[in-house]
């Protein structure tokens, strides 16, 4: 058994050593061939998707490279000093892959997805293997809480099932608002906020005055003309961030023009990606239709990055960046200095924006309490994350006494799973409330799906 585990770990670590822009096209090619798409067509589809992923990640990283320093400058200007340092999601993923439970969690997730497809419990074929680390991290936390490897896998399995179902339910709105036909988004770091976004949107509908506030990209462009175009919005948001960061004139313009370019180019990179995925999506549907004649609704599960090209998502993320810094300064009990993850707030808020039908005003309002929750949770989880990092040999000395990850370390869903398996009675009560929220999500999304189908979209 130990030899098998060691071999499995070596294989998994080798595969995960591939860059995401390499791994995902390889996975797409293998899946396309498995679904009997012609080799020439499968290779072209995989290569085109790979080119699209390179474009998406390049532009997204470009945004991070300019927003990150601006956010850091804002933090420094506030004089904010906290004991827990935000490493960001990348080191947290690396720490997770270094734990003994990670390889087994990957295999478990694959099996769960296949079983759910076979029994018609899901429409999502989750090919985003890289982001299986989100489920593995949930299992890792449960393993730490209980000392039981099997229960750790149960925790990872619960996370996988819930997120795959949320990806199913959110798919109609994702496809409508993000122009991603045949795609669902089972990335835990963003999907867990979709039910919260639906609930927040529903509550705002009940508040007179507030329910009249509306700002989506189309409405903004209609009212502001050329100044409402996505590149203009990026430019002016860049100016705002640069001013808050205290940039000089040259740096201010560089940030503004770069964010204008991001807003303009990123949606075009997403279209290239979709050019590669459409043949795969069509081939999967054709293959599955022969074996499941009553099923025509399969979706390809992809990384949330493919949705970041939506102008409403980018705009909301940029608006929330200075808000997150301000919250870190004023929220009682916060011990985290948000730095690395500030550039990834668009990922955090993406499914909130989708749930709010691209209404930027509503998305910002709903996201603020979520940011507060992330700050408090990542602060509370900092000792645990620091211990996990040290266990896998990650050097935390340069970062300070405590390390954490603002967004993924503060993810409420994974932390809830950890607390439930720790025997926290309040967490068990909260889990029941989450179950009610999930039922609410199912009810609301059924209506959305019906409305979209009726509109012929």
pLDDT tens per residue, range 192-230: 999 999 999 999 999 998 888 887 777 766 665 665 577
Other Cβ atoms closer than 10 A to 428: 12
In DSSP terms, 85 is beta-bridged to 337, 403
Give me the pLDDT at residue 137, please. Answer: 95
- Cα dihedral 420, 425, 430, 433 in deg (nearest 10): 110
Give me the pLDDT at residue 227, please. Answer: 58
Please report which confidence band the pLDDT of residue 168 belongs to, taking 50, 70 and 90 as the band edges.
Answer: very high
pTM for the model stands at 0.82
Task: Decide if pLDDT at 4 tops 70.
Answer: no
Highest mean pLDDT among 26-40, 90-104, 302-316: 302-316
Give me the pLDDT at residue 222, please. Answer: 64
Give me the pLDDT at residue 189, please. Answer: 94
Provide CB contacts within 8 A for 220, sequence distance 6+: 228, 233
Share of the chain above pLDDT 70, in %: 88
Mean pLDDT of the chain: 84
242, two tokens: 């640069």
- The mean pLDDT of 453-457, rounded to a whole number, is 48
178, two tokens: 């993000």
- The mean pLDDT of 287-301, rounded to a whole number, is 76
- 375 versus 342: which is more confidently predicted? 375
- The mean pLDDT of 19-44, rounded to a whole number, is 80
Could you tell me which of 106, 67, 36, 146 has the C-alpha nearest to residue 339? 67
- The mean pLDDT of 162-187, rounded to a whole number, is 93
- The mean pLDDT of 408-429, rounded to a whole number, is 93
CA 243 to chain centroid, in Å, comes to 28
Task: Decide if pLDDT at 457 tops 60.
Answer: no
Phi, psi of 151 (to 5 degrees): -65, -30
Task: Decide if pLDDT at 176 tops 80.
Answer: yes
Give me the pLDDT at residue 225, please. Answer: 64
- The mean pLDDT of 165-185, rounded to a whole number, is 92
Highest mean pLDDT among 95-99, 115-119, 235-239, 418-422: 418-422
Highest mean pLDDT among 22-31, 323-332, 390-399: 323-332
Please report which confidence band the pLDDT of residue 245 belongs to, taking 50, 70 and 90 as the band edges.
Answer: confident
Please report which confidence band the pLDDT of residue 331 belongs to, taking 50, 70 and 90 as the band edges.
Answer: very high
265, two tokens: 């180019």
Provide CB contacts within 8 A for 165, sequence distance 6+: 122, 438
Give me the pLDDT at residue 395, please. Answer: 67
CA atoms within 13 A on the CB side of 191: 27
- The mean pLDDT of 291-316, rounded to a whole number, is 83
Give me the pLDDT at residue 174, please. Answer: 94
The arrangement of strands across the sheet holding 402-404 comes to 336-337, 84-86, 402-404
Least confident of 85-99, 145-159, 165-179, 247-261: 85-99
Cα 432 to Cα 440: distance, rounded to the nearest angstrom: 13
Please report which confidence band the pLDDT of residue 398 belongs to, taking 50, 70 and 90 as the band edges.
Answer: low
The arrangement of strands across the sheet holding 124-126 comes to 124-126, 299-301, 183-184
Please report which confidence band the pLDDT of residue 157 belongs to, taking 50, 70 and 90 as the band edges.
Answer: very high
């Amino acid at each position: 058994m130990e030899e098998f585990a060691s071999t499995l770990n070596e294989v998994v670590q080798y595969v995960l050593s591939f860059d995401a822009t390499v791994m995902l096209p390889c996975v797409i090619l293998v899946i396309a061939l498995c679904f009997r798409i012609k080799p020439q067509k499968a290779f072209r589809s995989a290569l085109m998707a790979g080119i699209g992923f390179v474009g998406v990640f390049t532009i997204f990283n470009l945004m991070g490279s300019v927003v990150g320093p601006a956010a850091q400058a804002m933090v420094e200007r506030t004089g904010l000093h906290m004991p827990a340092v935000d490493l960001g999601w990348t080191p947290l993923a690396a720490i997770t892959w270094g734990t003994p439970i990670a390889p087994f969690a990957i295999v478990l997730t694959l099996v769960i997805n296949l079983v759910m497809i076979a029994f018609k419990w899901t429409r999502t074929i989750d090919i985003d293997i890289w982001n299986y680390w989100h489920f593995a991290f949930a299992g890792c936390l449960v393993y730490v809480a209980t000392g039981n490897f099997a229960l750790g896998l149960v925790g990872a399995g619960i996370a996988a099932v819930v997120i795959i179902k949320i990806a199913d339910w959110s798919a109609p709105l994702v496809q409508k608002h993000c122009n991603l036909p045949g795609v669902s988004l089972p990335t835990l770091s963003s999907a867990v906020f979709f039910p919260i976004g639906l609930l927040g949107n529903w509550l705002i509908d009940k508040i007179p005055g507030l329910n009249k506030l509306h700002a989506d990209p189309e409405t903004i462009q209609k009212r502001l003309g050329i100044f409402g175009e996505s590149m203009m919005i990026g430019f002016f948001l860049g100016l705002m961030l640069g001013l808050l960061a205290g940039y000089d004139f040259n740096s201010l313009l560089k940030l503004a023009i770069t964010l204008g370019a991001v807003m303009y180019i990123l949606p075009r990179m997403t279209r290239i990606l979709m050019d590669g995925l459409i043949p795969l999506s069509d081939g999967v549907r054709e293959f599955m239709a022969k074996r499941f004649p009553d099923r025509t609704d399969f979706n390809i599960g992809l990384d949330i990055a493919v949705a970041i090209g939506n102008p409403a998502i980018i705009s909301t993320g940029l608006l929330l960046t200075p808000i997150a810094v301000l919250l870190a300064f004023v929220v009682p009990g916060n011990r985290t200095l948000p730095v690395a993850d500030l550039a990834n707030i668009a990922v955090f808020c993406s499914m909130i924006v989708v749930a709010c039908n691209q209404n930027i005003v509503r998305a910002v309002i709903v996201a603020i309490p979520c940011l507060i929750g992330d700050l408090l949770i990542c602060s509370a989880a900092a000792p645990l994350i620091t211990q996990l990092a040290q266990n896998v040999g990650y050097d935390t000395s340069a970062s300070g006494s405590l390390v954490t990850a603002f967004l993924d370390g503060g993810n409420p869903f994974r932390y809830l799973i950890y607390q439930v398996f720790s025997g926290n009675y309040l967490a068990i009560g909260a889990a029941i409330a989450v179950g009610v929220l999930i039922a609410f999500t199912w009810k609301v999304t059924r209506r959305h799906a019906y409305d979209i189908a009726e509109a012929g979209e």
